[in-house]
Amino acid sequence: MTKRDGTRRVVVTGMGAVTPIGETVPELWEGVRQAKCGVSELEGFPVEDLKVLIAAQIKNFDHKARLKHFQRDKIVIHADRYSWFAAAAADEAMRQSGLEIPMADPYRAACIVGSGAGGLVTYETAYRDLFIHNKRATHPLTLLRIIGSSAAAHVGIEFGVKGPTFATCSACSTATHAIGTAYDYIRHGLVDRAIAGASESVINYGTMKAWQALHVLSPEGCFPFNKKRNGTVLGEGAGILILEDLESAQKRGANILAELCGFGQTSDARDMVNPGVEGPREAMKMALHDAAIEPHQIDYLSAHGTATAINDKNETNAIKEVFGDHAYKLAISSTKSMHGHPLGAGGGIEATLCIKAMEENWVPPTIGLDEPDPDCDLDYVPNQGRDHEVTYTMSNSFAFGGLNTVLVFGPAPA
């Protein structure tokens, strides 16, 4: 069960997601089918002098109900919010996969669950306690809550993973780096299965002030590829995949959802904030080459599509350079128009949507696209999703610092 280069084939057997438009994969998919918008007014903390008063928050998430059955990791109930999301998504993915819990042959399993920022909610609470409320100490679990690898550790403990367990951190490319790294570990024989993705929960007063200062947040909404776009909208959540080598998955009779066929990663090496065209272009080319398919075989592309002026234009131009004439026949959308920009978790959430698009031959929309930017002249599936035969999909994640990652998914092997 190897590819032409002698490496093992890697398949997806489970998916989990927590988002503002659905707290499980079925709920998320239903939200996408309904073109649901998860952006609303900020809640849960003092907004004081904030100028941007919207975000895509997950409201009324009951972590105690979602995680009460955890057997091995009792402390997760007291963890940071980003770890709750990761644990819930990983639990959903593991249960769909049918893998034994705790993992059989645990040293042959990996848990790579990243976060672009880690426990920022805990940071803010701790600083408010110390400097505003004049408390003498923070919560005793503060240190464990804030660490960027805490989610990976919590998930690894609960599911009995004793192989490589760590976090990736690459801003908006975090989840895709995690999935790509797990893919490499499996295909080169370091492990046989992996829990991979990312989680993020950063919506608080301090974070909003920091993003506001960078002038990349919209006070109105997330409108990718639209002429009126004026910034992104912060989101939160988690997206997790279960990856396995094909032979092992088939041997145990797993329900294979898709094959992870290709991964590409580059760095612009030019600017911290302003993205280029070359880096994203080369990452897409690398992913296609790794998948051993031609550009015209991609049927749906999940764009990074942040709704910032320069990103959407540059991503459009990069797609044109990679796909040529096929760029104009390609169904493309930014689901961030619905679930907001969940930073490091975005690639995991969007990967699940690529696989659902393949399962149902239906492509998600870019909502709010009423007046396309003339410089963004491709088919972004405006406003309503549609039936579309989907065999191969591509998912783009492009991050601050010019860190570019791309995944290619194909059909489940017969």
pTM: 0.97
Mean pLDDT of the chain, nearest integer = 97
Average pLDDT over residues 83-91: 98
Select which of 154, 177, 339, 341 is catalytic.
341
pLDDT at 121: 95
Give residue 138's pLDDT band: very low, low, confident or very high (50, 70, 90).
very high
Interior/surface letters 58-95, b for 16+ CB within 10 angstroms, e for the rest: beebebeebbeebeebeebeebbbbbbbbbbbbbbbbe
For this structure, is 188 an active site residue?
A: no
For 227, 274, 312, 327, 332, the CA distances from 319, given in Å and listed in that order, are 19, 17, 11, 6, 10
Res 275: pLDDT: 87
Distance CA 222, CA 216 (A): 11
Q: Show Cβ contacts of residue 266 under 8 Å, excluding neighbours closer than 6 positions.
A: 279, 280, 282, 283, 286, 404
Quick one: fold of 10-251? Peroxisomal Thiolase; Chain A, domain 1 (3.40.47)
Mean pLDDT score, 10-39: 98
DSSP label at residue 21: T
**b/e burial code for range 312-328 (CB count within 10 A of at least 16 → b):** bbbbbbbbbbbbeeebe
Q: What is the pLDDT of residues 343-381, one digit of tens each?
A: 999 999 999 999 999 999 999 999 999 999 999 999 999
Would the pLDDT of 278 be above 90?
yes
Q: Indicate the range of 4-18, 191-205, 288-302 predicted with least confidence.
A: 4-18
Q: What is the pLDDT of residue 39?
A: 98
Domain borders along the chain are 10-251, 262-409
Share above pLDDT 90 across residues of the chain, in percent, rounded to a whole number: 97
Among 63, 154, 177, 304, the active-site one is 304
Closest among 289, 391, 262, 288 to 331, alpha carbons compared? 391
**CA 297, 393, 324: angle at the middle one, nearest 5?**
45
Give the pLDDT of residue 2. 74
Q: How many CB atoms lie within 10 A of CB 286?
A: 19
What are the tokens at 229?
Answer: 């776009």
Mean pLDDT, rounded, for 147-158: 98
Q: In what order do the strands lie in the sheet with 298-302?
A: 165-166, 109-114, 193-200, 237-245, 10-18, 258-267, 403-410, 392-399, 298-302, 331-333
How many angstroms separate the CA atoms of 328 and 378, rounded? 5
Question: 10-251 and 262-409 share one CATH topology?
Answer: yes
CATH class of 262-409: alpha beta
What pLDDT does residue 139 have?
A: 94
User: Percentage of the chain with pLDDT > 70?
Assistant: 100
Residues 6+ apart with CB under 8 A from 79: 87, 141, 144, 145, 150, 151, 154
pLDDT-derived band at 331 (thresholds 50, 70, 90) equals: very high
Tell me the three-class secondary structure of 104-138, residue by residue.
CCHHHEEEEEECCCCCHHHHHHHHHHHHCCCCCCC
pLDDT at site 194: 99
Confirm whether 304 is a catalytic residue.
yes
Which residue among 111, 169, 172, 354 is the active-site one? Answer: 172
Residue pLDDT, tens place only, 94-123: 999 999 999 999 999 999 999 999 999 999
Taking only the tens place, the pLDDT of each residue in 157-194 is 999 999 999 999 999 999 999 999 999 999 999 999 99
Q: What is the tens place of the pLDDT at every residue in 1-13?
A: 677 778 999 999 9
Predicted confidence at residue 1, as pLDDT, reads: 65
Burial bucket for residue 148 (CB in 10 Å: 0-12, 13-18, 19+): buried
Residues 6+ apart with CB under 8 A from 213: none
172 is catalytic: yes
